Chain A
Amino acid sequence: MIANTLTVILILAGLVFFAAGTAGLLRFPDVYSRLHALTKADNVGLGLVILGLMLQAGGPADILKLFLIWVLVLAAGTTAAHMVAQRTWTHGEFESDR
């Protein structure tokens, strides 16, 4: 019962972060600030949802797998954000829209 309540709270908090990330992606003025909003907010949102789902997991193996997914998404998000920012910086923003 307590686990269920905690799951609901954690998932709802995660959804708030996802909504914040999307709002930032839509409202912020340039690529760098959008990158900042999206990458951080979404990864925290995913982390909260995964924490919530861990409380419902069947055993240690399931918990470890969920944790592994979060770590992978974190690494992917960081790498992608860095590479997109570097490419925008060196190539210019409108370069491939010709």
Chain B
Amino acid sequence: MSAFYLGAALFLLATILLGLIRVLRGPGSGDRMLAAQLFGTTGVTILLLLSLTLETPALVDVALVFALLAVVAAVAFVRQHGLPEPSGTPIHQRHGQKKEPDDDR
């Protein structure tokens, strides 16, 4: 059984390696973030399989922490340039916009 779990974990590792192609090529930053999402899910699964192979129950807790941190990465990516403003926001209150040269005076 242990060899089977290890084989499954190696298969998932090959999946991650294939996903790296998307990180290299994928045209938009959203595509790269999706690859990161794939690594998160697959990484959790690999940890669960390894916890049985190596008979280390603590790896299940590590997988739990990984599952929690996956959200943080996605939220940090989306908030990189700030959330979209509500449509009624006046120009002088908008964030992340280029300031007009006269704005500072």
Contact = CB atoms under 8 A, between A and B. Distances in A.
Contact of A18 (B12, B52, B81): B12
Interface centre among B4, B37, B75 (most CB of A within 10 A): B37
B44 A88 contact: no
A73 B1 CA distance: 26
B22 A26 contact: yes
Nearest to A96: B29
B60 A72 contact: no
Interface of A is mostly: helix
Interface in B1-56: 1, 4-5, 8, 11-12, 15, 18-19, 21-22, 27-31, 33-35, 37-38, 40-42, 44-45, 48-49, 52
Q: How large is the interface on B (under 10, 10 to 19, 20 to 34, 35 or more residues)?
A: 35 or more
A6 interface: no
B84 interface: yes
Nearest to A7: B1
B79 to A, nearest CB: 9
Given A8-B4, A26-B22, A49-B48, A73 B70 contact: yes
Contact of A88 (B8, B21, B28): B28
Interface string A45-84: 1100110010010000010011011001101110111011
Contacts of B33: 80, 84
Interface string B51-88: 01000010010011001101101110110110010000
Contacts of A62: 57, 60
